[in-house]
Amino acid sequence: MYTVRAEDSFAAAHYLKNYHGKCENLHGHNYKVRVYVKGRELDPGGMLLDFGILKKILKKILEEFDHKNLNDVPFFLERDPSAELIAYYIFQLIKEELPNAGRDCTLNRVEVFETEKNLAYYEEEDI
C-alpha cells in the first residue's frame, strides 16, 4: 500500500458553544491540515497521485475557511467547529473531489492541528 500526503494551512476564528471554559469565547488559530491518500497501484511514472493535484484540491477546500469565523460556515451553523469536526468536514469535501483526480486511490486521513502540539484527525474505518 502506498501513501501520499499534502499539507496546507489556514487562519480562522471560532468559538465553542457547548464548551465551558475559555474556548467558548471567540478566538483564533493558525490551523495546519494534512491529508493522506492511499492506494495499491502506481501510474506509469511511479506515482500514486501527483502531489500538485492533491495540493490543489486541498487549497481549494481550505479557501472556504481562511480568515473566516468558522461558526458562520454553513456546516457549523448547528455544530461546534471543534478540531474533530473540522477534520471530518474537510475529509468529506476532499472525498467528493478525489474521484475527479483520475486515479484509483482512497482518502485515508485528514489531520487538523490547532497548534503545533495539538491535533485531531478523522479517518474512515476499513470495512
Give the span between the Cα atoms of 107 and 22, in whole angstroms.
34
Active-site positions read: 23, 67, 114
Amino acid identity, position 76: F
**Cβ–Cβ < 8 Å for 48, 103:** yes
Q: What secondary structure does DSSP assign to 54-120, as a single string?
A: HHHHHHHHHTTTTTEEGGGSGGGSSS---HHHHHHHHHHHHHHHGGGG-S--EEEEEEEESSSS-EE
Contact between 77 and 85 under an 8 Å Cβ cutoff? The reply is no
